[in-house]
Structure 1
Amino acid sequence: MIRNFIMALLCTLFIGACTVTPDGPKQAVNLSAQLKQVAQVDTWELRGKMAFRRGDEAASANLRWKTDGDDFHFRLTNMLGVTMVSMVVDDNGAVLEADGETYKDAVPAPLIYYATGMDVPVAPLLSWIKGMPLATDTYTLNDKGLLATLRSGCSGCQGWDVSYSNYGSVTFSDSVNDSAQKQVWLPHLITLTQEPIQPPPTYSETAPSLTTTLKIRIYQWTIP
């Protein structure tokens, strides 16, 4: 399968890098104001690394993710900068290119799973990655009033726990007044964990029995 080829390449990489990570605000922030600012950020680009682990299976790659509302371009590259997975999502659906092949689907998550073996909750992650919970999520705050942990509650994405750290201040233009600048605190390290599904006692088939961990380390946020 194509995922075996991609996973073999990904396993040659590692998540660590010599970068300076931000340590967050010095004073506590107002959560309502922070989430209001985050909600305004619907066009952004990030660069970093993504690591995946499930049981003895582990992989990592360089990540570049650029969004414009619900549309986005997601790309994974190896340490030489060679693109291994590239996916574009727009009103026409999702198109993924990997290993010289092109694959299409109405939604992106199945394509990512097929190409890499990674079960990525793409739709909620567009909010989670900014440190913004969905209406059905539960969460805790750190001592500066920013999200520390999140427990998913949306339909179809239950079971994901998200932890946040290394918040940094990012400047962006006011959508009403282009000459004005705003600042928002965005996380630079996000870890998503999904525990194995526990089937009912009478369930005869084998349910997933391995914990899945997805770690995203962001080196740079860019907001137009």
Structure 2
Amino acid sequence: MIRAQPHCNARALGKGILAMVVLVLTGCVSVNTSKQMDTGQLAFEINGRLGIRFQDQSEQAQLYWRHGDKGDWLSLEGPLGQTVATLSSNADKTVLITTDRTWEAADPEALTEEALGWRLPLGGLSQWITGTPDTRRTYEWQTTGQPDQRTLRQDGWEIRYSTYFTDTPQHLPRKLELIRDELHLKLVVDQWTTGPAMDTKPQTLQ
């Protein structure tokens, strides 16, 4: 089982903003079956940087995310390289590990209800991050005069795209912002890897 490093400071633990954001991302991750992957979802790995602003708090973190038809695995690291939280999720269960405890539930929505006290709507972050909406639900695009600048609205989120990797066949996003109420996430993707769907379950679900 993946375990977070023990020297992470208390502000970044279960009650901290970084752990809270992992829970928000948990509620947005679409756990995919092979049938859903056939709709055009990419299997991918990304390395990037996440900026977080919530009310009067702000944090920075490194994000690693592996996504495929067997599930998702995410890791957030603090500014000193310490692991703040890891998340594994597939069609059977979702496991979130921080330095002070472990949450486990049948699905991301149930986990957020246990950890936060309320259920987040299951969104489509695994689609949004590739620059596309989840076409199974209502969405709206808004464009500007700039070719790469456009905004997607879906599930109560506003997703703003500003920069893309022009050398990838999928024209994948490099910089995007996700805004909902008082939560503002800014994601810069440093590296995309796309290819065949994951052929094994995420590590903590073995």
Q: Same fold (TM over 0.5)?
A: yes
Q: Does 1:215 align with 2:201?
A: no
Change (3 A) 1:103 1:7: closer
Is the Cα–Cα contact under 8 Å of residues 43 and 67 in structure 1 kept in the other structure?
yes
Alignment of 1:89-128 (within 5 A): 89-108=89-108, 111=111, 123-128=123-128
For 1:185, what is the secondary structure of its paired residue? Answer: coil
Is the Cα–Cα contact under 8 Å of residues 164 and 187 in structure 1 kept in the other structure?
yes
For 1:130, what is the secondary structure of its paired residue? Answer: coil
For 1:184, what is the secondary structure of its paired residue? Answer: coil
Q: Does 1:165 align with 2:173?
A: no
Match of 2:132 in 1: 132
For 2:75, what is the secondary structure of its paired residue? Answer: strand
CA-CA distance at 1:144 after TM superposition: 7.0
Alignment of 1:33-112 (within 5 A): 40-69=40-69, 71-108=71-108, 111=111
Is the Cα–Cα contact under 8 Å of residues 6 and 84 in structure 1 kept in the other structure?
no
1:49-105 Cα distance to aligned partner (Å, 9 max, x none):
122222112222110010013610011012333211001001221001111422101
From the CA coordinates, give the structure whose radius of gyration is larger.
Answer: 1
Is the Cα–Cα contact under 8 Å of residues 164 and 191 in structure 1 kept in the other structure?
yes
Equivalent-residue separation in structure 2 for 1:4 and 1:184 (angstroms): 35
Is the Cα–Cα contact under 8 Å of residues 41 and 127 in structure 2 kept in the other structure?
no
Relative contact order (alpha carbons < 8 A, sep ≥ 6): 1 or 2 greater? 2
Change (3 A) 1:41 1:4: closer
Match of 1:28 in 2: none
Q: TM-score, normalised by structure 1?
A: 0.61
> Percent same amino acid among aligned pairs?
27
For 2:97, what is the secondary structure of its paired residue? Answer: strand
How many residues end up aligned between the 2 structures?
Answer: 164
Q: Which runs of 5+ in 1 are unaligned?
A: 12-38, 172-182, 196-210
Is the Cα–Cα contact under 8 Å of residues 92 and 107 in structure 2 kept in the other structure?
no
Q: Does 1:5 align with 2:2?
A: no
Q: Does 1:148 align with 2:150?
A: yes
Change (3 A) 1:127 1:217: same
Q: Which runs of 5+ in 2 are unaligned?
A: 1-9, 20-38, 196-206
For 1:126, what is the secondary structure of its paired residue? Answer: helix
For 1:169, what is the secondary structure of its paired residue? Answer: coil
Is the Cα–Cα contact under 8 Å of residues 3 and 116 in structure 1 kept in the other structure?
no
